[in-house]
Chains A and B, each alone.
Chain A
Amino acid sequence: MAVTETVPRSEALPITIRRVTKTYGQVFALDHVDLDVKSGEFLTLLGPSGSGKTTLLMALAGFTRPDHGSVSFGDTEVVRMPPHKRDVGMVFQNYALFPHMTVAANVAFPLKLRKVAKAEARERAERALETVQLGGYGERQIDQLSGGQRQRVALARAIVFEPRILLMDEPLSALDKKLREHMQIELRHLHEQLGMTTVYVTHDQREALTMSDRIAVINHGRLMQLDEPRRLYDRPANRFVADFIGEGTFLPVELSNGSAAYAGTPLKLAEAVNETAAQELLLRPERLSVLAGAAEPEVNVFAGKVKELVFQGESFLMYAALADGAEVAVRGATNRDVMERIPAVGADVHLGLHRDDTVLVAAGED
């Protein structure tokens, strides 16, 4: 983003969440959540609908009062602090821009409340609008803006008072795909530029992978895994995470003194086996390859028959049945080499999986 004048970089604060619990009747919206957000990081809360993401974000903003637990911003305990004293910026899912105020008045609103002098407030609001590339839009009414512009105004309003923590609840979900992808990158840049600790909520795994420093996967109000995007994808902690992020087929494995075997064949594994829990083998479609000749020593081989082939433009999808009847999906790029190697439907096929991609996950965790 070619922006000359920007909102100054604010000093970020870490967030510490300890044993935060919130129940609605019998339902645990949050179930003893422990989470540390590092100072200045972009952390995404990812989970299916109803998993408790909004509840957790609202607990940070002060709109949801937990049953118990502790939330600290830096050294300050805030769990009993009313929302208007918390000094965190927030972008609401529906933006919540005040319809009776102009764009400039909306953005200057938090400054006015902080008794910033009028001229300075006007200047800072304009600077915040420039930061989100809406310089000169100040006099517009909210209903004269497009969805993407509203999103930016909401963002400008959330950052204009230089909060040290920024919260966003699915801010892009109302935008169309193209604009959404554009805004993802832009938000990411903005975060790098402003450096405030950011907690972002989405149920879109690709969005989470694109934007985040770290991702916290939540299900049924519980933290399932907290990791960097790459690690989350490559080394999911359990079947729920593996299934929720990316695609995958799971195969049963037999564990015996430190090694695992599928259908009698020992597997070459990326990491040592954790024998305390039942494990399953995760097969990601794009990590499997169609083997032409003899496999390299570092590759696990699965033999099967091609059941179905689907051409999808930039990639193909093949369904193959393994010897024991399990059906696995294979995805590959549609370049000439690969396409020539693919057998016809009904033919035998050998699938290869590199040892680094051969990952076991704790079974049956939903």
Chain B
Amino acid sequence: MAVADFAPGAVAEPQDEPHATGLRDDAFRERMAMLGLCSPALLLVLVVLVSPVAWLFWLSFLANDGSLSLEHYERMIASKSYARIFWTTFQVSTLTTMLCILIGYPLAYFLSQLPPRAAAICLITVLLPFWTSLLVRTYAWLVLLQRKGLLNNWAIELGLWDEPVKLVHNMTGTLIGMTHIMLPFLVLPVYGAMKSIDRDYLKAASNLGASPVSAFWQVFFPLSLPGLFAGALIVFVLCLGFFVTPVVLGGGKVIMVSMRITDNIELFFNWGAASALGVVLLALTMGTLYAASRLLRLDRILGEGNG
């Protein structure tokens, strides 16, 4: 019977491993089919993501006369203005991230405590800004924050301050606008992390003698940290390359890397310099991600140690 199982002409196989070759072939064919099905997507990624970055990289090493050189990088190191721009970019990103954490974490906590339907409605209002144009939102802030804007008028009427305060065309305006735009990117992962915390952990803490406050700090907060790290990282990295909001609300006083890149292209037609900036920004972003991943692992190791 066992012999009759083999199709005529099939490769002779050891008696104790029936169909071994055939099964191996099936597995191989399946893998190939999978690869074939993925290939359009892989090709797309290659064309629209990898090749532009490679092109950018290549351009950054070309001098204006077309010869290979490091002059764009040398200029970046030599010139003080570049250092200032990178410092501003870092500053804006850090401050925006911190503001997002300060506002977003309590907001996410509030949402996570609501009954499901109320939480869904509130979540939609948090996400609403996502569905309106970035430019519109940014200009809306301009209207609200300017000298004769809504906020100044109200504040003066209420007697909070007498003179119109300069809320826009400076760092303050930039931070307000960017925090508003980045907030959902922080709230969503934090909310997700909080929702996935089993309520029994808090009950257990309480049963073991923890007051609501210490149950929060010793159990809930540490368990929500991965979500907070993820959200903060997304916000920080997005901020590093942000353009529209600092241009409109910064009023030329807050110059970030992305704006210098545009200047290089639109004013000076210097693709090489722009590319070099892009490459450095990319490197900084990747560096941040790497550092964050190391930090998280470190955190875990420390967590194991001290407990």
Q: Which residues of A contact B (CB under 8 A)?
A: 61-63, 82-84, 86-90, 92, 94, 96-102, 104-105, 108-110, 113-114, 139, 141, 157, 161
Q: CA–CA, A161 to B207, complex, Å?
A: 11
Chain B residue at minimum C-beta to C-beta distance from A97: B204
Q: Which of B198, B200, B207, B304 contacts A84 (CB 8 A)?
A: B207
Query: Does A87 contact B209, Cβ atoms closer than 8 Å?
Result: yes
A156 to chain B, nearest CB (A): 12
Known: A92-B200, A96-B200, A98-B201. A110 touches B208 (CB 8 A): yes
Known: A96-B198, A96-B200, A98-B219. A141 touches B304 (CB 8 A): yes
Chain A residues with CB below 8 A from B209, complex form: 84, 87, 110, 113-114, 161
Q: Which of A82, A94, A139, A161 contacts B208 (CB 8 A)?
A: A161
Q: Which of B206, B222, B223, B304 contacts A83 (CB 8 A)?
A: B206
Q: CA–CA, A87 to B211, complex, Å?
A: 12
Query: Does B207 contact A90, Cβ atoms closer than 8 Å?
Result: yes
22 contacts between A and B (CB under 8 A): A63-B203, A63-B206, A82-B206, A83-B203, A83-B207, A84-B208, A84-B211, A84-B212, A84-B215, A92-B204, A94-B198, A96-B198, A96-B203, A97-B204, A98-B201, A102-B304, A102-B307, A113-B208, A114-B209, A139-B304, A141-B304, A161-B208
Binding site secondary structure of chain B: helix
Interface size for B (C-beta < 8 A) is 22
Query: Does A88 contact B307, Cβ atoms closer than 8 Å?
Result: no
Query: Does A105 contact B307, Cβ atoms closer than 8 Å?
Result: yes
Chain B residues with CB below 8 A from A86, complex form: 207
Chain B contacts with A in 195-231, Cβ cutoff 8 A: 198, 200-201, 203-212, 214-215, 218-219, 222-223
Chain B residues with CB below 8 A from A88, complex form: 207
Could you count the A-B residue pairs with CB atoms below 8 Å apart for me: how many are there?
68
Q: CA–CA, A104 to B207, complex, Å?
A: 18
Q: Which of A97, A100, A113, A139 contacts B303 (CB 8 A)?
A: A100
Chain B residue at minimum C-beta to C-beta distance from A167: B207
A309 to chain B, nearest CB (A): 38
Q: CA–CA, A90 to B208, complex, Å?
A: 8
Chain A residue at minimum C-beta to C-beta distance from B222: A100
Q: CA–CA, A94 to B210, complex, Å?
A: 19
Known: A94-B198, A141-B304. A84 touches B206 (CB 8 A): yes
B246 to chain A, nearest CB (A): 37
Of the candidates A62, A87, A99, A104, the one having the most CB atoms from chain B within 10 angstroms of its own CB is: A99
Q: CA–CA, A96 to B203, complex, Å?
A: 9
Q: Which residues of B contact A (CB under 8 A)?
A: 198, 200-201, 203-212, 214-215, 218-219, 222-223, 303-304, 307
5 A-B pairs with the lowest CB-CB distances in the bound complex, closest first: A105-B307, A96-B204, A110-B208, A96-B200, A113-B209
Chain B residue at minimum C-beta to C-beta distance from A139: B304
Query: Does A96 contact B206, Cβ atoms closer than 8 Å?
Result: no
Q: CA–CA, A88 to B200, complex, Å?
A: 16
Q: CA–CA, A87 to B210, complex, Å?
A: 10
Q: CA–CA, A63 to B203, complex, Å?
A: 8
Of the candidates B208, B219, B303, B307, the one having the most CB atoms from chain A within 10 angstroms of its own CB is: B208
Q: CA–CA, A102 to B305, complex, Å?
A: 8
Chain A residues with CB below 8 A from B206, complex form: 62-63, 82-84
Query: Does B203 contact A92, Cβ atoms closer than 8 Å?
Result: yes
Q: Which of A63, A96, A102, A108 contacts B201 (CB 8 A)?
A: A96
Chain B residues with CB below 8 A from A139, complex form: 304
Chain B residue at minimum C-beta to C-beta distance from A100: B222
B85 to chain A, nearest CB (A): 40
A93 to chain B, nearest CB (A): 8
B56 to chain A, nearest CB (A): 41
Chain B residue at minimum C-beta to C-beta distance from A101: B307
Q: CA–CA, A100 to B223, complex, Å?
A: 7
Q: CA–CA, A108 to B209, complex, Å?
A: 12
Chain B residues with CB below 8 A from A113, complex form: 208-210, 214
Chain A residues with CB below 8 A from B219, complex form: 98
A107 to chain B, nearest CB (A): 10
Chain B residues with CB below 8 A from A157, complex form: 208
